[in-house]
Amino acid sequence: MHPDALSLDEISVLLIWTAISVYALAFVAYAFDLARRSQLSLERQDAARERVLVGAGSGTTVNGVAQDAPAAAKPRMVMGRIGTSLTVLGFLFHLGGTVLRGIAAGRVPWSNMYEFAMTGTLLITAVYLGVLFWRDLRFLGTFMVGLVTVLLGAATLSFYVQIVPLMDPLKSVWLVIHVFVASLATAFLALAFGLSVLQLLQARRERLALEAKDAEPQRSFLRTLPSAEALEGMAYRFAIIGFIFWTFTLIAGSIWAQDAWGRYWGFDTKEVWTFIIWVLYAGYIHARATRGWRGTRSAWLSIVGFTAVIFNFTIVNMFFEGLHAYSGLS
């Protein structure tokens, strides 16, 4: 190899930074999309007032017959489409960087914090893009792409480590299964988290709208989004899927612990926090399904659960001692 040639890992890092840059551009495009939605909400209110005036006899007439206001054409959310296209492009660079890291290491690319963040954010983006085939959630693009950009950028800056051989406990098929499923669970829980945040904002807007019916029209992209109840329903469904994967993560981790350390459970810090997260989401699903915890209480449970996921990945890995000392950081 030529001495100036880039290694596979260096190319991987270059692709990851390219992906971060493209994601940042997608974030900007989605932000413009939200601004457009705000303008659209005001135009819709004006159109609604015009229809009311037409109905009251203030509309135009042809041969003495009142004519309705012309139906507004369905708006083309161009910036939202550009944001999605850029997200797809960023995902491809992201995927290339992840695959090259795995090839360079000769194993799956999720054995330390940097690699787990790289793979986890890749799956968050993949799940978001996949869901778009089922439901138009481009209004969530600013939040999801912004989250991925921040997490991936911070991980690349703070957690990057050179490729090293695997520690003995990690030389197991459970590394492939356990960590991948945990990453997939995190992706679905991240979507639920984003929807729950929007649910809180939408619920507040709906409450204020009821309290001020005669107020002047206000711009708000939230007016173009589903209702708080609909957002809550979507968040709940994604949380259930994430919870199923997290349950498997907990079970697979116990089996792996038996293989590696000769016991299924040892109250290691990482094990405890994984169980705490499971309890939080089990409580969220149970409370909403059986005790009628709807609205803001449901949203806050979802948000607290995902906050615990991020805490488990960052603070627990970095500052708590235990058998799961695989952050790769010195």
The residues spanned by each domain of the chain are: 8-319
What is the per-residue burial (b if ≥16 Cβ within 10 Å, else e) of 62-76?
A: eeeeeeebeeeeeee
Q: What length is written for the chain?
A: 330
Mean pLDDT calculated for residue range 17-45: 85
Mean pLDDT calculated for residue range 296-324: 84
Amino acid at 291: R
Q: Is the pLDDT of residue 49 over 80?
A: no
| Predicted confidence band of residue 73 (pLDDT cuts 50, 70, 90) | low
Mean pLDDT calculated for residue range 307-321: 84
Q: Which secondary structure element, helix H or strand E, spans residue 269, and what is its range?
A: helix 269-290
CA 262 to centroid of chain Cα atoms: 36
In the chain, the percentage of residues whose pLDDT exceeds 90 is 49
